[in-house]
Amino acid sequence: MIVMKFGGTSVGSKERFEQVYGLIERARQRSAPPLVVVSAMSGVTNALIESANLAVRRDLEGALNQIEMVRNKHIDAVKGLLSKEKADLLLADLNGHLAELESVLRGINYLGELSKRSIDAVSSVGELLSSRVLAEYATARGMQVTWLDARKLVITDDNFGKANPDWKEIEKRAAQIAELSKKGSTVITQGFIGSTADGVTTTLGRGGSDYSASILGVAAGAKCIEIWTDVDGMMTADPRIVKNALPISEASFQEASELAYFGAKVLHPLTIKPAVEKDIPVKVLNTMRPESEGTLIQSKPSAVFGKDGKARSVCAIASKKNITALFISSPRMLMAHGFLAKVFNVFDKNKTPIDLIATSEVSVSLTVDSTENLEAIREDLKELGELQVLHNTAIVTVVGRQFRERSGIAGEVFSALKDVNILVISGGASEINLSFLVMAEDSDRAVQQLHAHFFDD
């Protein structure tokens, strides 16, 4: 059994649902029926979150207008896919979900309060709607289908907005997926959402549908996890920044994880982790161009060769914007132990992860991509020394293979960037990653120059 995860653009319209059905049917002909994990239709999750924000600002009319837009988007798809009788039955069911959602929004509006728990309740509806549409359409076409509510499968803690899976419970519940596949049924469920042991709806964070696919694939014993999106796999750079970016045919789990974390939007960073632990290959494919080779992510990828016949040492260039840099300087660091522990404790206390870090005798430079708790972090760090905060920066990352075993990589990188001001350098922590911080306005130029140096043969 394989897992097929379809993103929002893959189920964005009537035509896209038809394409997805064809891909599932083709997969059924090759092997056992797949587990299908579906995102919300494109634009729906944003509309749902906006409805909650409008409701808490006491704009109930605006909130309900967002829900009406979501309703009409699904009506257009359903009426184009099903007969009138079946469409009416499905729309009645979908309207039940939307009626519950309207009640939640009225409660938010009345109280003037929007908690993370409420946001999860609102933003989870899109996946429930899209998965029901796909399941009913596939059934109408004659496919044997079982629709499962992911909230009964993906059990999590109550860290609303970014819930953590309860693996033991998920593995117990996911056993039914493999059994249904053996009996010839295609299981269709939702990405992004789960629930606590008490049945309270949670979400895995934005982009969490990839993570859901990986969690369920591992728990159900899948042999491969396919991530179907709107691009031809992972690329040597963001094609919006580098027009001649090249597709990556194969990448290691570590390379894909680094690229995902440092800006390659094709894949959610957490997706790789469960697959790595079970050595399950992940394929990134294009729904609109299924004939495209895509990217195969596995533990031991094949070498990639340039036109000169030599194996490429660099896999790709990525960038991550909207980064905040913090520079802490303190004479107390000199010859002292425990200073870094105090710095890390500040970020742990404020639940904020660090991206990059570099140290000298009396200073620490680090970056974060979340400013949610920045003011509290500022106050805590001021007790440790002088603090400078720099906004509007970007991390540029060169990802490759066995950098520690190759000489000259750093020299090539900095030679290619001789006209770009580099603020912080982080290298050596990983043998496949060399990262540095630049001002945001320089990041695209840095990526373009690095790509030209390493990939324009």
pTM: 0.85
Domain ranges of the chain: 2-230, 314-455
Tens digit of each residue's pLDDT, the chain (457 residues): 999 999 999 999 999 999 999 999 999 999 899 999 999 999 999 999 999 999 999 999 999 999 999 999 999 999 999 999 999 999 999 999 999 999 999 999 999 999 999 999 999 999 999 999 999 999 999 999 999 999 999 999 999 999 999 999 999 999 999 999 999 999 999 999 999 999 999 999 877 899 999 999 999 999 999 999 988 899 999 988 999 998 889 988 888 888 888 877 788 777 888 988 899 999 999 999 999 999 999 888 776 655 555 667 788 999 999 999 999 998 766 556 778 888 999 999 999 999 899 888 788 999 999 899 999 999 999 888 899 999 999 999 999 876 766 677 888 888 999 899 999 988 756 678 889 999 999 999 999 999 999 888 6
**Which CATH class for the 2-230 domain?**
alpha beta
DSSP code of 156? B
Q: Are 181 and 35 in contact (CB under 8 A)?
A: yes
Classify domain 314-455 at the CATH superfamily level.
VC0802-like (3.30.2130.10)
Tokens of residue 362, six digits: 């009396």
Contacts of 77 (CB under 8 A, 6+ apart): 13, 14, 17, 41, 133
Compute φ and ψ for 324, nearest 5 degrees.
-110, 130
Count of H-run helices and E-run strands, the chain: 14, 16
Q: Specify whether the CB–CB gap between 184 and 229 falls below 8 A.
A: no
